[in-house]
Amino acid sequence: MTLAVRPNSTAARDVRSQLHPYTNPVAHEAQGPQIITRGDGVWVEDEDGKRYIEGLAGLWCTALGFSAEDRLARAAYDQMKALPFYHPFGHKAHVPGITLAERLLDMAPVPMSKVFFCSSGSEANDTALKLIRFYNNALGRPEKKKVISRVKAYHGVTLATASLTGLPFNHRDFDLPIPGVLHTTCPHHYRFAAPDETEEDFATRCADDLEAMIQAEGPDTIAAFFAEPVMGAGGVIVPPPTYFEKIQAVLRRHDILFVADEVICGFGRTGNPWGCQTFGLEPDMITVAKQMSSGYMPISALLLNEKIYAAVRDNAGRIGMLGHGYTYGGHPVSCAVALEALAIYAERDLFTHAATVGPHLQARLRTLADHPLVGEVRGVGLIAGVEIARDKANRQPFDPSQGAGLALGRFLHKHGVITRVIGETMAFSPPLIISMAEIDTMVDRVASALDDTLAWCRAEGLL
C-alpha cells in the first residue's frame, strides 16, 4: 500500500488499523487522516499545530466546546470512584440515572412520563421504533406498524434507523430501507417548491402529500411519523411556516404517533431549550442525545408520554418483562457527566447566550447571499446551512460528479474552518459558547473559501 504520509507516522498507523465512518476508504488510504490533538473553546488544533474554528461542534454535539471542563472531568472521576458501572436491568437503579431522568422530565417541552436511557441517537430512535410496535400490539392493532419519515431525514445508522434516514448513502448496498418504512416530501422550499409556490402553499402541499400517502397505505397501517424540528445531516433544512401545524393535524386525524428527533436540536441549538418549542411541536415521544452531555460522554434517551408508557407497562406485565435494553444504557458515569453539563448550562445561562448570538450568526451568514456561488442561506438559532449553486437564478445545483462540494471542503480546510459540506451545503452548528467575534472570524474565513471555490469552478469550466 502506497501512502501519501510517512510510513511510520501516526497517520500511517491509522490507515493500517481503522475503518472510518462516513469516509471514502480508497481516498483515506491515499491521503490519510487529519489528526486532532487538542482543543480550546471553539477551536481545535491538529498534529501540525494548525488551528481551526470548529463550525459543527464536532458532530453537532459539543455545546461547551473543546477546552478542559474541570467540573465534567471531576463528575466523571467522582462517579468512577463511587460506582464505575451499573445497569438498570432487573429492577436495579443508581442515583445518577434516577436524577437525570427526573431532570429530563422536568425540562421536557410537553408532558412526558418516563425516560429510557441508551448510548446514541441511533439507539434512542431504534428504541422508539421497537416500542411503537410493542405499543400497537398491546392495543390489539397488529397491522398498525408502518412508520413515515421524510426524504433527506437523518435518524441514525442501525438497520431500522438507517431505513428511517432518507439519504441515499445510508441505503445503497445496505439493502435498505427495510419494509414498512416510508418517506414523504422533504420540506425544503428552496429545492422542492414549484415555481411561484409560496412557503405556506408548499407547507400545505407537504401535508397533502402526507395525507395522500396515509390514504394510499391505509390509515390503520400507519403507526408513527418521525421528524427532526430542523433537519440536520440532510442539509440543515428549516421547515416553512405552518408546516408542522399542518402535519400534526394530519397525524391527529389518523391516530398516528409523532416522534420528535431532538438529537441535534435539543438543549439550546435552535434558540430555545427545545426545537419543539421553536416550531410548536407536541410529540408523543422525544429522542435526545449529543448536547445532553456536551458530547463528553456517550449517552442518549427516549422520553415517552403516559399514553405510550401505560400500554407498554401493561403489555410487558402480561408477558413478564420488557425484553429490551442496552448494556451501557444509563451508564452511571455518563449520567453524572450529563447532569453536570445540564447544571453548567443553567448556571452560565448558556441557552440565553445561544439565543443572543444565534441571530448574529444568521445575519452574518446572510451577508454571503450575494456571493456568485451562494444559492440559499437558511437556519435558525445556532444551526445554519449555506448552499452553493451552479446557476443561482434558476436554483440549479452542481452535478455531484463535478466535485464543487469537495473543492469547497478543501478550501474551508485551507482557511481554518472545520465543518461538513453535505452535498453542496455547508452546515454550521458551532459550540453554544461561541462569541460574536468568533462568529465574525468564522464567516470571514468562509467567505474566503467561497472566493477560492469560485475561482476553482471557473478554472475547471464549471461556470
Q: How far apart are CA 397 and CA 237, in angstroms?
A: 16
Predicted confidence (pLDDT) at residue 1 exceeds the cutoff of 50: no
- Look at residue 3 and tell me whether its pLDDT is greater than 80: no
- CB-based burial label for 403 (10 Å; 0-12, 13-18, 19+): middle
How much is the pLDDT for 442?
Answer: 98
Write out the E strands in 289-373.
Answer: 300-304
Return d(Cα 363, Cα 368) in angstroms, integer: 9
Q: Which of 252, 330, 264, 301 is nearest to 131 (CA)?
A: 301
Q: What average pLDDT does this structure show over 95-103?
A: 98
Q: Which three cell numbers stand for residue 448?
A: 474566503
* Average pLDDT of the residues in 428-449: 98
Q: Say which DSSP state 238 is in.
A: P
* pLDDT tens profile 243-272: 999 999 999 999 999 999 999 999 999 999
Q: Cα dist. 312→125, 319, 339, 432 in Å? A: 16, 10, 27, 37
Q: What average pLDDT does the segment 86-103 reach?
A: 98
Q: What is the pLDDT of residues 184-225, one digit of tens each?
A: 999 999 999 999 999 999 999 999 999 999 999 999 999 999
> Would you say residue 439 has pLDDT above 90?
yes
C-alpha grid cell for residue 182?
A: 416510508
Each residue's pLDDT tens digit, 35-65: 999 999 999 999 999 999 999 999 999 999 9
Q: What is the structure's pLDDT at 136?
A: 98
What SS3 state is found at 343? helix
Chain segment 337-347, per-residue pLDDT in tens? 999 999 999 99
pLDDT at 2: 39
- Of 255, 251, 252, 250, whose CA–CA distance to 220 is shortest? 255
pLDDT of residue 8: 84
Q: Closest Cα partner for 432 from 271, 301, 237, 277?
A: 271
Per-residue pLDDT of 124-156, as tens digits, reads 999 999 999 999 999 999 999 999 999 999 999
DSSP 403: -
Compute, in degrees rounded to 10, the torsion defined by CA atoms 385, 298, 433, 100: 120
Q: How far apart are CA 215 and CA 252, in angstroms?
A: 14
Task: Round to whole Å and give the CA distance between 179 and 343.
Answer: 42
Alpha carbons 317 and 111: distance in angstroms, whole number: 24
pLDDT for residue 134: 98
Question: What pLDDT is attached to residue 4?
Answer: 63
Instruction: Report all structural domains of the chain as residue ranges with CATH numbers, in order of start.
Output: 34-68+349-459 (3.90.1150.10), 72-347 (3.40.640.10)
Contact by Cβ (8 Å): 117, 299: yes
Each residue's pLDDT tens digit, 422-431: 999 999 999 9
Nearest to 152 by CA among 107, 191, 193: 191
Helix pair 332-347, 70-82: axis angle to 10 deg: 150
pLDDT value of residue 68:
86
**CB-CB neighbours of 216 under 10 Å:** 8
pLDDT digits (tens, 9 = 90+) for 347-400: 999 999 999 999 999 999 999 999 999 999 999 999 999 999 999 999 999 999
* pLDDT tens for each residue of 265-286: 999 999 999 999 999 999 999 9
What is the distance between the alpha carbons of residues 353 and 435, in angstroms, rounded to a whole number? 9
The average pLDDT across 295-302 equals 98
Distance CA(69)–CA(233), nearest Å, equals: 27
User: Which residue has cell 445531516?
Assistant: 233
| pLDDT, position 96 | 98
Cell of 124: 434512542
CB 40: neighbour CB atoms within 10 A? 12
Cell of residue 102, nine digits: 427526573
